[in-house]
């Protein structure tokens, strides 16, 4: 499979070029278009309990859509995320998995397994952080973001701090530590206007997004008229 990304960085569309009989699994509703002869199937990956865990805790859909090229002809599938922004194909290997935050997973090759991983208490308190999606196995996984993407390559022992709402993905060898943004206490955190942050320590790569979808949702809720 070959991944091609167009219309970056604001309105990325990912095209997966499939060899005859090859498949790609994608988030439900992500398909924008596909070539003739593509077979489409929706199913739960890993059984009911794993699918429920990924859906309820990881923020992804219960069903995963599988696209299969014709057995004798190549094909392609165009995929797009819900929010405007960029997209990136990341390599997953048995010795190096990738962790994606809620809503960031868009698609993956058939050799990639998706599971749910605990990412911290930020989701329970501030609507960020919480459970994440862990991609393991062998192949490529596609992550989508809100806004533009930045990659941070951390050396051994090196790191940085980022607001939880701006995290897209990180290699599972990176060590994340969740904490309040203001170290002085809960009231200081509230006054600062910031919630929770991640301290990331390398080695490994971290991908962040230039916009925070949770802040966007909060702003929309403040300006939209209340329902009667």
Mean pLDDT, the chain, whole residue set: 84
pLDDT for the residue 125: 37
Q: Which long-range contacts (CB under 8 A, 24 or more apart) does 3-8 make?
A: 3/89, 3/140, 3/142, 5/86, 5/87, 5/88, 5/89, 8/86, 8/87
Predicted structure pTM score: 0.81
Q: What average pLDDT does the segment 150-156 reach? A: 98
Q: What average pLDDT does the segment 89-114 reach? A: 94
Can you name the CATH fold of 2-223?
A: Double-stranded beta-helix (3.60.160)
Q: Which is more confidently placed, 20 or 228?
A: 20
Q: Which is more confidently placed, 115 or 16?
A: 16
Residue 43 above 80 pLDDT?
no
């Amino acid at each position: 499979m070959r991944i091609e990304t167009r219309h970056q960085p604001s309105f990325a569309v990912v095209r997966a070029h499939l060899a005859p009989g090859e498949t790609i699994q994608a988030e439900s509703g992500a398909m924008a278009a596909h070539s003739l002869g593509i077979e489409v199937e929706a199913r739960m990956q890993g059984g009911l309990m794993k699918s429920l865990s990924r859906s309820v805790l990881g923020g992804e859909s219960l069903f995963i859509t599988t696209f299969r090229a014709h057995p004798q002809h190549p094909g392609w599938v165009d995929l797009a995320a819900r929010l405007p922004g960029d997209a990136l194909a990341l390599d997953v290997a048995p010795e190096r998995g990738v962790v994606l935050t809620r809503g960031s997973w868009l698609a993956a090759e058939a050799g990639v397994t998706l599971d749910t991983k605990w990412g911290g208490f930020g989701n329970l308190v501030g609507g960020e952080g919480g459970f994440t999606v862990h991609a393991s196995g062998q192949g490529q996984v596609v992550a989508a973001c809100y806004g533009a993407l930045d990659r941070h390559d951390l050396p051994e022992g090196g790191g940085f701090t980022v607001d939880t709402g701006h995290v897209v993905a990180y290699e599972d060898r990176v060590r994340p530590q969740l904490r309040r943004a203001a170290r002085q206490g809960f009231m200081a955190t509230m006054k600062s206007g910031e919630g929770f942050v991640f301290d990331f320590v390398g080695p490994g790569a971290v991908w962040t997004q230039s916009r925070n979808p949770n802040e966007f949702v909060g702003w929309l809720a403040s300006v939209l008229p209340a329902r009667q």
